[in-house]
Amino acid sequence: MIKATSLKKSYGETLAVDGISFEIAAGEIYGLLGPNGAGKTTTLSILSGLLKPDSGSVTLAGVSLEGEERKAKGLLGVVPQEMTLYEELTARETLLFWGRIYGLGGKRLDERIDSLLERAGLAAKAKKRVRTFSGGMKRRLHLLTGLVHEPKALLLDEVTVGIDPQGRIALLEIVKEVAASGTAVLYTTHYLEEAEALCDRLSIIDFGKVLVEGTIDELVRSLGEGEVVSLTGSFTGESIRRALEGHDEAAILSLEDGAGLLSIDLSGPDVFRLLDSLFGKVTGVEEVSIRRPSLQSLFLKLTGREIRD
């Protein structure tokens, strides 16, 4: 439904998007997960036709964004990172405004707006001005502005930033319903937990490149069956490597001087010998943490850092 092929985009010296490709099926929620500056918004701006890529192409339902821009854009709903709401309009007027922009009107638009407001828990607030809304209500209304014309492809850019936990859940539920009705959804976020809870498949991106792509299960399984053990301190990478020699129940996920990420089967018969070797022979281990394989540990492995705001 949404197909991006080898997208590239630079701003002057900054290579913001460096060869990103993916394909999103109808009904699928596809995540672009990456830290600030990774290239998410730039990718989304290219998909929405706001920004021309330096190279690469986009098709929506087989319609080329370049060749048949009007037709492609009609299939598309976009909810940008910055909220574009007019404080003096009511919730209903806001959606009427967007409906008219998409060329809708009459009874059909009225009914559509009623059902959207209902679905987002905003029916009782339909006639209230946006400026009286809480942050969470504004975020939900903002999401609805991209849904008025029942798009076949929906692009969402960090739509939960600054929202409270309950508001977040309500908003993600709406996204799930939209996908369940057959819309292809691109969901960008820098929140690992959201990607984990929401996305059928995702890419982890950084510096404009896809680092890995897959379902959550596939990505987490790529870390192995064991626990993920993270070591930091003043040790050398070489000393860790030596301590692990002959221990098949341990694998190195990433390793440099002072920072190591290992996968260790802690239920294995030889685990005490392994730990003896690791902590007996290696000097300078200052911190140890152990966790189940997760997107978070995968992210740490790929980028050498935790994802943060």
Ligand X SMILES: Nc1ncnc2c1ncn2[C@@H]1O[C@H](COP(=O)(O)OP(=O)(O)O)[C@@H](O)[C@H]1O
**Dihedral pair phi/psi, residue 260, rounded to 5°:** -135, 145
Pick left, alpha or beta for residue 158 (phi over 0 → left; psi -120 to 50 → alpha; otherwise beta): left
- Is residue 203 close enough to count as binding Mg ion by CB under 5 A? no
Token pair in block for residue 26: 């109808």
Number of neighbouring beta carbons within 10 Å of residue 211? 17
Q: Name which of 203 and 297 has its Cβ closer to Mg ion.
A: 203
Instruction: State the nearest-atom distance from the C-beta of 53 to ligand X, in Å.
Output: 12
| Binder among 28, 35, 41, 244 for Mg ion (CB under 5 A) | 41
Q: Which does 14 bind (CB under 5 to 8 A by kind): ligand X, Mg ion, none?
A: ligand X
Closest-approach residue to Mg ion (CB): 41
Instruction: State the nearest-atom distance from the C-beta of 37 to ligand X, in Å.
Output: 4
Cα–Cα dist 3/5, whole Å: 7
Q: Which does 146 bind (CB under 5 to 8 A by kind): ligand X, Mg ion, none?
A: none
Instruction: State the nearest-atom distance from the C-beta of 34 to ligand X, in Å.
Output: 5
Q: Name which of 157 and 249 has its Cβ closer to ligand X.
A: 157
Could you identify the residue written with the tokens 């339909």?
126
Q: Name which of 41 and 277 has its Cβ closer to ligand X.
A: 41
Instruction: State the nearest-atom distance from the C-beta of 282 to ligand X, in Å.
Output: 37
Instruction: State the nearest-atom distance from the C-beta of 211 to ligand X, in Å.
Output: 13
Spatial CB neighbours of 12, under 8 Å, sequence gap ≥ 6 = none
Q: Which does 39 bind (CB under 5 to 8 A by kind): ligand X, Mg ion, none?
A: ligand X
In degrees, rounded to 5, the angle at the alpha carbon of residue 66 between the alpha carbons of residues 64 and 71 is 60
- Nearest Cα neighbor of 271 from 244, 297, 295, 294 is 244
Q: Name which of 36 and 289 has its Cβ closer to ligand X.
A: 36
Q: How many CA atoms lie within 13 A of 226 on its CB side?
A: 19
Cα–Cα dist 63/80, whole Å: 22
Positions touching ligand X (CB under 6 A) are 11, 14, 16, 34, 36-42
Q: Name which of 9 and 112 has its Cβ closer to ligand X.
A: 9
Spatial CB neighbours of 256, under 8 Å, sequence gap ≥ 6 = 237, 304
Instruction: State the nearest-atom distance from the C-beta of 44 to Mg ion, in Å.
Output: 8
Q: Name which of 184 and 204 has its Cβ closer to ligand X.
A: 204
Rg (CA), the chain: 23
Query: What's the Cα-to-Cα distance from 286 to each of 187, 260, 279, 282, rounded to whole Å?
Result: 38, 12, 11, 11
Q: Name which of 16 and 179 has its Cβ closer to Mg ion.
A: 16
As a residue count, the chain comes to 309
Q: Which does 283 bind (CB under 5 to 8 A by kind): ligand X, Mg ion, none?
A: none
Instruction: State the nearest-atom distance from the C-beta of 213 to ligand X, in Å.
Output: 16
Stretch that binds Mg ion, among 25-33, 34-42, 172-180, 205-213 (CB under 5 A): 34-42
In the complex, the residues that contact Mg ion under the rule CB under 5 A are 40-41
